[in-house]
Structure 1
Amino acid sequence: MRPDDLALLRTPGVPTVSPDGRMAVVAVTRPDPGDDAERSRLWAVPTDGSAPARPLTPGPRDTDPVFSPDGRWLAYRGAEPGGPPQLHLLPTAGGAPRRLTDAPLGTGRPVWSPDSRRLAWTARVPQVDRSGVDRAAQPPWLVTTLRWQADGAGVVTDRHSHLFVLDLPPAGEDDGTPPRPRQVTDGNVDDTDVTWSPDGAELAFVSARHARADRDLVRDVYAVPAAGGTLRRVTDGRAECARPAYDPSGDWIWLTARLELGRDGLDVVGRGATLCRVRATGGALEPVLAPAATDRGDATPATVLAGRAAHLGVHSRGAVELLRVPLDGGSPEALVDGPFTVHGLAAAGGVVVATVGHNRSAGELIAVTPGRRRLLTGFGRALGATGRLHRSEERTATAPDGAEVHGWVTVPGGPGPHPVLLCLSDPLRRPEGWSLSVDTQVLVSAGYAVVRCAPRGSPGYGQAHARAVRGAGGTVDADDVTAFLDAVLTDPALDPERVGVMGTGYGGWLATVLTGRTTRFAAAVVDGALTDPAGLVGTSDVGWWFVDQYLGVDPPVPSAATSTPTLVVHGEDDRRFPREQGVRRYVELKRRGVPAELLLFPGEGSDLGRTGRPRHRLARLDHLLRWWARWLPVTPDQDLPGAVVDGAPLPGDHDGRGPLTVRATRLD
């Protein structure tokens, strides 16, 4: 895969299925480097495979489709260029879509009432008008809580998320006047994950409204009358709840939850999100799947109940399997297993439709019926036709304490031995496994063997494996990475004398720890990385609890006394591991005379490599290839492509809007 192949990438989202099970609809996203924008539109896909997928809407940014229970309507979110997403309604019998909302900050995913006459959603409600161009003229933020910012959203202390309901006009009575939604909840809290009761009288949602809500991670399920009124708490204040759904009887609410958070409500390290249920009238959570062996891994925004069963994706050794769990207590059944990642799913009319990817596919839709799985789409055909996607092979190694370390090696074609890049993703947010990694494909196509692994702390290997890093991040997990690298370097196709390391997010923390331990790496890249634990506590949206839980109350200080040349990559608006993390690492290296560069991307958050502006994503890949060609050439006599000449354009600096590359300690 080459950087320019990014334009061929097609990524399907979470599907929806018509009530009769005959048609699926999914949003497919593609990068458009020409216009520097993400494009997405809805596609209709017959679930019996009788016809190819066809585009249903023109875009430019249509997402989150949901069929109404009567099958007459398709609600979805649509956004104009530069505008926030608004709810739209499309008749399934044919006709033009209609915009339903004009929310200042956009809306969340639509959720249908059982009678198909109402829609619910969540949306941020601005308390102060901050829409002006002149940010310096805006009023100040008064911050009184620990939870005052969020990665991807910015400062949220005066724009909390609340529930809304919209009544659609009865058939034949629509005069074209936009219906007015009503706000159902309020307060200085965030409400999410809304769902309807089977009789349509009540809404359940997730919120933190208890006394210690600002100091713990507990999230409860609440219920409120659909017309508005008094809230009642359903769960017992001991878990981090998400994605509730009523069963058809209305007696139970099924959900995903992290249990046993401890007395302070912060003990989440390695706690898998497992399937639970609770009586709709309130009570204690009852785990349905073993909490110590289950961690939900799909992106479906709700718990899917259909055919007297719950359906969900769970992490399993680098894969995300699709499970069917009978509501009556029968044994779970794996509908999709093996080297695949289930990204999202829907079920209706006797068919389950899932978006499934693997290490050479961003995802395709499959239909699962009793005894059969059918591939429905070919969204990745254009990228696959380049012949530039590479297959990964599983490997295992043994850590110093005897634990197994699982991972993957992806090797370019042609004779070896090849230079090696140890690529460490963020195992806490984006674990390695059987899914398409653009970085891996681009680097392997450039001639590097890429080594990836799942050190302790990664999901899908049991709770003991995941909780081993509690208060010890950068110790046992770094040992795992080193053991895995040493083991795979015995492969004659890999060159043990030419090795580099690259880490993203928490993986960047591991890369920082490793370069402080050893001089074995020819160079390093730390991308959106945690590098300064003390500084993270007061600047990150999660730092106030993350450092204590993952690194300990007295976190280690990574050594800057390294000679490893380092490229520091960061999004300017990253609030998870803020840019100060990268800037401090860069400056410390420069002060010690270590070759270092700072690549800073304007306006980007913590997931630059996957969700950044297309031209920024291209620029990032160009700079990675330039950096590795300089410090770890594929062949010893390789010329440096895109040579760095002060004052000259760099690869990826498109239209003067590219990233800022700093080679001095003066940042002004």
Structure 2
Amino acid sequence: MKPEHLPLLKSVSAPAVHPDGSRAVVSVIRPDFDADTYVGQLWTVPLDPEKLPRRLTRGFRDTAPAFSPDGLVLAFLRATADGKPQLHVVEAAGGEPQVLTNAKLGVSSFAWSPDSHSIVFGARTPDDGRYGTLDGVSAGAEDARLITDYKYRMNGVGYTADKALQLYIVDVPELDDEPRVAPAGRALNALKLSALKADARSAAAEDDADALVADALLPSARQLTFAATDHSGESFSTDGEFVYFVASLHEGSDLDLASGVYRVAVSGGEPEPVKAANAGRQTVAAARQSRNGKWLFFTAQELGESGQDFVARNTALYVMPADGGDATVLSDVETMDVSGTAAGLELRGPDSVLLLNNAQGTVELLEFGATGNHSLLVHGDRVVTGAASAGGSMFVSFADAATAGDLAALEDGQLRLLTDFSAELRLQAEIIEPQELTFDSADGYPVHGWLVLPPGKGPHPVLLNIHGGPFSQYTAALFDEAQVYADAGYAVLMCNPRGSSGYGQAHGRSIKEKMGTVDMQDVLSFLDGALAKFQELDGGALGIMGGSYGGYLTAWTISQDHRFKAAIVERGFLDPVSFIGSSDIGWFFGGEYTGSSAEQMAAQSPMATVRNVRTPSLVIHSEEDLRCPVEQGQRYFTALKQQGVDAAFLVFPGENHELSRSGTPHHRKQRFEEILRWWARYLPTKANPGDPGGAPIN
């Protein structure tokens, strides 16, 4: 795979299954160089093998499909090239979609009511005068912000307190009704006058006829929540009288990471907490009432007595009686991590849910019943990304070594492939299947990972890749980074050292207040094991690279191990001290991972040992990164230059911490090109000879 093949990477959403089980609808999204963004539509996928999948919509970017419970309507989010996602509905049998919302900052998510007549949705709601709500007031001309809380920014979102995620309910119109027509002339003037009388502050927008007309054509949405914090994970109660959601509405919420389940009456009123009598301090990811109405399922992480001890906490599934009582943990919190279901719980049957479990470089599909019975539905060398069932059919979206995303039917315990969205990718790009490996660390601890070996007998230069997190995992699924580097002639090694997810809570928590110890030992032992096992690997031509926590461990390693010809330190956590005040999570993250004393932070800080680095290093960062702010990379690069290390700093404007995964297609391609140029300089290959005298762009 080459950088120019990025548009062939098609991601597939979780399926929406029609109530009769005959078909599913998925969103298929890909990068597009011409639009320099992500485009895609909805596809309908029949269960019948005699029928082919087909494109259902033709919007610019259509996502998040969901059938109404009665199966008559399909709802989804549609974004235009220059706009935010808005809620749309279309007849399930086909037709012209109708827009239901005109949210200033777009709709984030939604859920159907049980009677199929209304939808609850989440939308970031800007304070008056912010984010374009006043004509002629640009972002730079807005009023100053007075910050008094720890929690005021989020990577990819920016400021949060002045645009909290609120919940709204909108009635779904009869789709065969005559469409509304835009008011003009006298009717438009009357509409303007009515708006002015309703709210004197509308005077500034009195001449904005387009906005008034747009609102007049839409059904009225009613706001349900109002607190200055995010309300997410919305779903209706089984009887349709309440909306459940997740929020941090407790006293002292700015001092901990806790969140809980709440519900608010559809008719309005104050939200009420839905808390188990025996619950400790938790951060709740998702909640859903069972179909029979007897149970409330929720997923959560324990936070310890401080309410901040999040390090390598597995997400577990809990259940409690819907009318209140004690909660029972259903999944094994030590060995299972069901955090893949954070986007929402999918119900199956009267009293069970489907869950995604991170498991040793894979993601499994499981089903749990309210009484504790559970079964493993899908496992093996793949990553399940979503699943849903209805009408006796089960549809599963997944990725594996050969596909970036596809849909299958689960029948008699086996997956029957229904789509082949990566066919063009395999046709145009050579996809190399990773080899699964396990090597012992220096203390005998097993380290699991993969080798992606380029074609040819070698010896090949080796790139040791380190993932972010650290509580994350490399998986068996197709990974664009490894494929691009292998295509350029590099053997790519990637493993899940201690600190990673998917191997149990003890594995993940082993680096708490000990970063850069057994985790560095594990990645280097994995490298040494591979070099000893494979003659095709060139032990004298080594590179090391990683992003976020991977950037941390790369920078830490090259301060102590000087065997690498070059390094790439990307969006790294590089100085625990300055991270505290500059990162969106800095007020708690570093203290929990490195400890909070000056001595502890210095003992685990790449900036504290940067004077020992001799390895040529490319530092990559994004200007709008709030997770690992750009100052981390700036200071690290400057320190390298001051001591004479060959270093370069590649900075991407307009991008945040997610550049490599969801940045603009142009920047993602450019990032690959500059990374390959850096490796060509120090580790040239036949496929990537580069220009030995070249340097990254200015």
Please state which band the TM-score falls in when normalised by the shorter chain: over 0.9
Matching of residue 374 in structure 1 with residue 413 in structure 2: no
Q: Which residue pairs with 1:507 in the alignment?
A: 550
Matching of residue 560 in structure 1 with residue 610 in structure 2: yes
Q: Which residue pairs with 1:607 in the alignment?
A: 658
Matching of residue 521 in structure 1 with residue 564 in structure 2: yes
After TM superposition, the structure 1 = structure 2 runs for residues 146-295 of structure 1, keeping only pairs within 5 Å, are 146-169=150-173, 176=180, 177-235=217-275, 236=279, 238-259=281-302, 261-295=303-337
Q: Deviation per CA, 1:166-197: give whole Å up to 9, x if none.
A: 12235766653421111101111111101111
Q: Which residue pairs with 2:634 in the alignment?
A: 583
Letter in 2 for 1:129: R
Aligned-pair distance for 1:552?
Answer: 1.6
Aligned-pair distance for 1:283?
Answer: 4.0
> Equivalent of 1:496, from 531, 539, 554?
539
Counterparts of 2:524 and 2:425 in 1: how far apart (Å)?
Answer: 33
Matching of residue 592 in structure 1 with residue 640 in structure 2: no
Aligned-pair distance for 1:12?
Answer: 0.9
Letter in 1 for 2:580: V
- Stretch of structure 1 that moved more, 313-322 or 472-481: 472-481
Q: Deviation per CA, 1:343-377: give whole Å up to 9, x if none.
A: 12222222221211113321110111344421110
Aligned-pair distance for 1:118?
Answer: 0.6
Secondary structure of the corresponding residue to residue 120 of structure 1: strand
Matching of residue 52 in structure 1 with residue 52 in structure 2: yes
> Does the 8 A contact of 2:130 with 2:139 survive in 1?
no
Report the TM-score when normalising by structure 1.
0.94
Letter in 1 for 2:489: G
Q: What's the Cα RMSD here?
A: 1.8
Q: Which residue pairs with 2:389 in the alignment?
A: 347
> Equivalent of 2:486, from 419, 433, 444?
444
Counterparts of 2:420 and 2:692 in 1: how far apart (Å)?
Answer: 35
Report the TM-score when normalising by structure 2.
0.90
Counterparts of 2:69 and 2:394 in 1: how far apart (Å)?
Answer: 16
Aligned-pair distance for 1:541?
Answer: 1.1
* Cα distance change on mapping 1:431 and 1:91 into 2, 3 Å: same
Counterparts of 1:301 and 1:81 in 2: how far apart (Å)?
Answer: 25
* Cα distance change on mapping 1:172 and 1:408 into 2, 3 Å: closer
Q: Deviation per CA, 1:24-43: give whole Å up to 9, x if none.
A: 11111111112212101111
Secondary structure of the corresponding residue to residue 512 of structure 1: helix
Aligned-pair distance for 1:129?
Answer: 2.4
Aligned-pair distance for 1:495?
Answer: 0.9
Counterparts of 2:137 and 2:294 in 1: how far apart (Å)?
Answer: 50
Counterparts of 2:577 and 2:378 in 1: how far apart (Å)?
Answer: 43
Secondary structure of the corresponding residue to residue 415 of structure 2: strand
> Does the 8 A contact of 2:681 with 2:692 survive in 1?
no
Matching of residue 72 in structure 1 with residue 72 in structure 2: yes
- Stretch of structure 1 that moved more, 392-401 or 298-307: 298-307
Aligned-pair distance for 1:297?
Answer: 4.5
* Cα distance change on mapping 1:193 and 1:444 into 2, 3 Å: same
Matching of residue 466 in structure 1 with residue 514 in structure 2: no
Letter in 2 for 1:333: S
Structure possessing the higher radius of gyration over alpha carbons: 2
* Cα distance change on mapping 1:207 and 1:479 into 2, 3 Å: same
Letter in 2 for 1:219: S
Q: Which residue pairs with 1:97 in the alignment?
A: 97
Q: Deviation per CA, 1:604-639: give whole Å up to 9, x if none.
A: 01111110100000000000110000011126x974
- Stretch of structure 1 that moved more, 398-407 or 572-581: 398-407
Secondary structure of the corresponding residue to residue 502 of structure 2: coil
- Stretch of structure 1 that moved more, 559-568 or 611-620: 559-568
> Does the 8 A contact of 1:501 with 1:511 survive in 2?
yes
> Does the 8 A contact of 1:253 with 1:277 survive in 2?
yes
In structure 1, runs of 5+ residues without a counterpart are 651-660, 663-668
Q: Deviation per CA, 1:130-184: give whole Å up to 9, x if none.
A: 2267432111112111110011111112111111111223576665342111110
Counterparts of 1:264 and 1:430 in 2: how far apart (Å)?
Answer: 23
> Does the 8 A contact of 1:298 with 1:342 survive in 2?
no
Aligned-pair distance for 1:505?
Answer: 1.1
Counterparts of 1:165 and 1:237 in 2: how far apart (Å)?
Answer: 32
Aligned-residue identity in percent: 39
> Does the 8 A contact of 2:471 with 2:501 survive in 1?
no
> Does the 8 A contact of 1:322 with 1:335 survive in 2?
yes
Matching of residue 633 in structure 1 with residue 684 in structure 2: yes
Counterparts of 1:31 and 1:487 in 2: how far apart (Å)?
Answer: 37
Counterparts of 1:446 and 1:123 in 2: how far apart (Å)?
Answer: 43
Secondary structure of the corresponding residue to residue 39 of structure 2: strand
Counterparts of 2:658 and 2:43 in 1: how far apart (Å)?
Answer: 26
Aligned-pair distance for 1:401?
Answer: 2.8
> Does the 8 A contact of 2:290 with 2:352 survive in 1?
no
* Cα distance change on mapping 1:50 and 1:324 into 2, 3 Å: farther
Counterparts of 2:12 and 2:635 in 1: how far apart (Å)?
Answer: 38
Letter in 2 for 1:318: G
Q: Deviation per CA, 1:646-668: give whole Å up to 9, x if none.
A: xxxx7xxxxxxxxxx45xxxxxx
Aligned-pair distance for 1:280?
Answer: 2.3
* Cα distance change on mapping 1:205 and 1:642 into 2, 3 Å: farther
Secondary structure of the corresponding residue to residue 214 of structure 1: helix
* Cα distance change on mapping 1:168 and 1:535 into 2, 3 Å: same
Where does structure 1 differ by over 4 angstroms across 4 or more consecutive aligned residues?
170-175
In structure 2, runs of 5+ residues without a counterpart are 181-216
Q: Which residue pairs with 1:655 in the alignment?
A: none
Q: Deviation per CA, 1:53-76: give whole Å up to 9, x if none.
A: 111111211111111000011111
